[in-house]
Amino acid sequence: MKYLITIVGPTAIGKTALSIALAQHFKCEIISCDSRQFFKEMTIGTAVPDQEELAAAKHHFIQNKSIFGKYTVGDYEKEALAKIEELFQNNDFTILIGGSGLYVDAVLKGFDEFPEIDSKVRSEVNLNYEKSGIKYLQEQLKKLDPDYFQKISLENPQTLQNPQRMMRFTEVCIATGKPYSSFLNQKKNNRNFTPVLIGLEAEREIIYNRINERVAIMMNKGLLEEAKALYPNKTLNALQTVGYRELFSYFDGDFTLPFAIDEIKKNTRRFSKRQLTWFKRNENTKWFDYAVNRKEIINYIDEIAKQGHQ
């Protein structure tokens, strides 16, 4: 029996430290599932593990892609599953860690299959977006798949501002004549491992304090300089990210620097709430207080493994 120890929870809760402790205990390796830590140009603003942390346990999918390349959740699913299978050749345990719920779900449950989209439809949607902006895509989805539009509005509203995702929804609806949501959850994907889901949580005030501290640390480490270097490419999808967007607005002259920093903190707090909402939907997750003795988590994993081998 193979076990994928999956660590989830809001940003700044301590997932990295726990993953390293578990990797050392189970003598296994770590698969990162943070959709922004994939990009080598983004280090400080994505809280990539530092050199000491990377040396403490072998990590995969950390800064292995460029913001200039196209990389989808479907691409990640294929690559991550191949790497997990490879790691299971030598160990019964592998660790998956991250705050990107969609990417975690892709690994654990699989990604839905969609028909090929005619390039003419894709070009037309792209052209209309360039002409009319994100509002065009929002109106199309609201009209062509009102149920899904409503679901996103309630559960993941920032997606409505994501041009790449919204173009995808729209082109599928137009090309197939069916709602995008009709293609979701159509097939069951078999996995050759048992997921062991570990969630870290804390009182809201503690999470918010940790976020504020992290933002201050990032600024001290040089986030402003990192964002300035990336500013010429600010329209790239990978850079539509909390911590960079707000500083781009500062460079544009729309924000003062203190206001931009406050916005980073505020938007990160909002993001952490959405993460918790997403991860709490999975009833199989065992939640632990962020400050719990790690031995308690190890015992929980050992107990599951013991039952699996009976």
- Binding-site entries for substrate: 11-16
Give the whole-angstrom CA distance, residue 273 versus residue 267. Answer: 10
Q: What is the helix, strand, coil percentage profile of the chain, to 5? A: 55, 10, 35
Q: Is the separation of the CB atoms in 102 and 34 below 8 Å?
A: no
Give the whole-angstrom CA distance, residue 99 versus residue 34. Answer: 6
Q: Which residues are annotated as a binding site for ATP?
A: 9-16
Q: Is the separation of the CB atoms in 24 and 91 below 8 Å?
A: no
CB neighbour class for 185 (10 Å; exposed up to 12, middle 13-18, buried from 19): exposed
Q: Which residues are annotated as a binding site?
A: 9-16
Q: Which two tokens stand for residue 234?
A: 């600010």
The residue ranges of DSSP E strands in the chain, in sequence order, are 3-8, 30-32, 59-60, 93-97, 194-201, 286-289
Give the whole-angstrom CA distance, residue 156 versus residue 278. Answer: 9
Q: What single DSSP character describes residue 163?
A: H
Q: Who's near 296: CB < 8 A, 6+ residues apart?
A: 288
Q: Which residues pair with 50 in a beta bridge?
A: none
Give the whole-angstrom CA distance, residue 173 versus residue 86. Answer: 37
| SS3 at position 283 | coil
Give the whole-angstrom CA distance, residue 107 versus residue 75. Answer: 11
